[in-house]
Chains A and B, each alone.
Chain A
Amino acid sequence: MDLPVINSISGEVAEGGGCASHSCGSTDDQLGHLPEHIRAKVHNHPCYSEQAHHYFARMHVAVAPACNIQCHYCNRKYDCSNESRPGVVSEVLTPEQAVKKVMAVAANIPQMTVLGIAGPGDPLANPERTFTTFRELSEKAPDIKLCVSTNGLALPESVEELSKHNIDHVTITINCVDPDVGAQIYPWVFWKNKRIMGREGAAILIEQQQRGLEMLTERGILVKVNSVMIPGVNDKHLAEVSKVVKSKGAFLHNVMPLIAEPEHGTFYGLMGQPSPTPEELQELQDACSGDMNMMRHCRQCRADAVGLLGEDRGLEFTMDKIEDMEIDYPAAMVKRAEVHAQIAKELEIKEQDRQFQAQAKAALAALQGDVPLTRPVLMAVSTKGGGVINEHFGHAHEFLVYEASPVGVRFIGHRKTTPYCEGGSSCGDGESALDETLRVLKGCEVVLSAKIGFEPWAPLEAAGIQPNGEHAMEPIEEAIAAVYEEMRATGKLDEKPELQQKVA
């Protein structure tokens, strides 16, 4: 039996929703896969939420012109080709100008909730300019979420400073974890006062990226990873990249197509390096993003974009126009809060509607008898994000609960707990914490984790919860569907759940 995941059902439902863009098929439901602290941050974020991107706006300011590496898809006469578009030049702003522009836009477009610094070079290769902008904005406009993108070379030394600001998340562009692949993408990096060429430079970059990723996730800062898919160079390798970055806690891996035309004057463009076809891209995106299509509507914005995704209102906010604007930010903040609350309400209604439709459709399918009527089962999962089972049972601060049934796998909710084992080797309050976990998992018949220690195994089984560590690093919904199918095949679904769930 091939078990569909609910998302594919809801995707069909949403398609009638009037969005012209092909990429808008799926819905906010994808966010359900995320742990609560991540979900809270991204659910109103235009770049992550398919729903939100119709309502909330983002802007970029081009304060960071310098770069510390060279990529073969970039022509340095223009903005960074990865974080922006090839062949585009942004007007570089001073931090003072950038702050003024952001506040002017925020006051005039109350839907603007996110400010990103992505270039036109590498933000962390311009630490002064980038951090002055963040510092000022955290102070003057605390209702704006800040985010930053980087190639990662200067990331470890910037983590401390990044953690001081109102930083929503950091995006690292990671195209490889193997220096031999890297040598075909990065001709040089500038490192410790020297230009380092070829493989050696790529190895340094990779090491810094991975270290930066670990340091950020350790501090609880959200990390998204972007990869540029370069056919024949890293296309086969990106599945490995995906596995590595998710195991280190990146909450999302977003694969973007290489853009390379001869007229951009890039190495790849001039070499005739092909870009991926839409099919190749989608296949890889499916493999890397697991069940999360959150970024499928990504438009690869330019470094000075303003407005809703897919529109650019930058021309309304050129420096000369901003100079003349009088901005009363405290008053603007009140209005902004009202607009945000209104949008949140609208989104909530839409979400309820969507859930209702999905349920109705599922019920209909069951009635029509397309599927055997086995009973639904609740399963808990521990995850650090990324849509995969990548958290140890003993380290989990919360579990995501799903319902598996003949019509699919559905996200139910989050359940918080105290980690049974607070990292390290000492599992101090182990016993009482385990009791708490058993209590919050009540009703679940299976718990899936990256690893489950020997100690909790017996108490879990005694409580009627089958521990399962066999699906480590697998996409959550596929793993749950597989376990459900196994339960069906072994006759476990014929028994009444009451019989299994001995502990009330």
Chain B
Amino acid sequence: MALEIIESCVNCYACEPLCPNEAIYQASPHFLIDPDKCTECAGDYDDAQCSSICPIEGAIIDELGVALNLPGSLTGISAEMLAKYQAAVEATYRAALEAKTG
């Protein structure tokens, strides 16, 4: 029984000091959980601490690969809004590229 931090982690350090088992450690390119130490906080807290403070939806998953924080659950940003965001980012990127290549 252990949780896992995946690549969408933004290295914000928030989870690390909260873990009752010191299972979380800083690593490159992102923080990691030692599966041998993680108990999913059973016996210590009602809620897994790392996934209760993590601001990034989907950055922490369980053993079945299911995200503890589902898309939209923390930011209120729906999948539809997210698509709009990606389009905006792409447009900015393309504009920058065009400016560069003239």
Known A-B contacts A193-B45, A262-B88, A263-B92; A68 and B14 likewise in contact (beta carbons under 8 Å): yes
**B81: A residues at CB distance < 8 A:** 270-271
Contact A125 B14 (CB under 8 A): yes
Q: Is the CB of A193 within 8 A of B47?
A: yes
Contact B10 A262 (CB under 8 A): no
Asked if B35 lies at the interface with its beta carbon under 8 angstroms from chain A, I say: no
Which of B12, B47, B55, B88 contacts A263 (CB under 8 A)? B88
B73: shortest Cβ distance to chain A, in Å? 9
- Does A195 lie within 8 Å of B53, measured CB to CB? yes
A3 within 8 A of B: no
**Alpha-carbon distance between A68 and B84 when the two chains are bound, in angstroms:** 27
The verdict on A70 contacting B11 (CB below 8 Å), with A262-B84, A270-B81 known, is no
Question: Does A270 contact B84, Cβ atoms closer than 8 Å?
Answer: yes
> Does B61 have its Cβ within 8 Å of any Cβ on chain A?
no
* Closest CB in chain B relative to A133 CB, distance in Å: 14
A32 to B49, CA, bound (A): 49
Contact assessment for B74 and A187 in the assembled complex, using a CB-CB cutoff below 8 Å: yes
Query: A96: shortest Cβ distance to chain B, in Å?
Result: 15
B45 → A minimal CB distance (Å): 5
Distance, CA A157 to CA B39, complexed state (A)? 29
Interface size on B, residues (CB 8 A): 27
User: How far, in angstroms, from A265 to B47 measured CA to CA in the complex?
Assistant: 28
Complex interface: chain A residues within 8 A of B91 (CB): 263
* B14 partner, pick from A67, A188, A262, A269, beta carbons under 8 A: A67
Contact pattern, A 87-128, Cβ under 8 Å of B = 1, otherwise 0? 000001000000000000000000000000000010001101
CB distance from B88 to the nearest CB of A (A): 4
Within 8 A of A (CB), among B53-102: 53, 55-56, 74-77, 81-82, 84-85, 88-89, 91-92
Asked if B36 is at the interface (CB within 8 A of a chain A CB), the reply is no
User: In residues 13-40 of chain B, which contact A (Cβ within 8 Å)?
Assistant: 13-14, 17-18
Picked from A72, A92, A125, A128, the residue with its CB within 8 Å of the CB of B76 is A72
For B11, give its contact among A65, A72, A128, A270 (CB under 8 Å).
Answer: A65
Docked-complex contact A68 and B53, CB < 8 angstroms: yes
A89 and chain B: residue at smallest CB distance: B10
**Chain A residues with CB under 8 A of B47:** 193-195
As a 0/1 sequence over residues 60 to 100 of chain A, the CB contacts with chain B under 8 angstroms (1 = contact) are 00000111101010001100000000000000100000000
Q: List 17 A-B contacts (CB under 8 A).
A: A67-B12, A70-B74, A72-B75, A72-B76, A76-B10, A76-B56, A77-B10, A92-B11, A194-B47, A195-B47, A195-B52, A262-B84, A262-B85, A263-B88, A263-B89, A270-B77, A270-B82
Given contacts A72-B75, A265-B77, 14 further A-B contacts (CB under 8 A): A65-B12, A66-B17, A66-B53, A70-B74, A76-B10, A125-B14, A187-B75, A188-B74, A190-B52, A193-B45, A193-B46, A262-B88, A263-B89, A270-B85
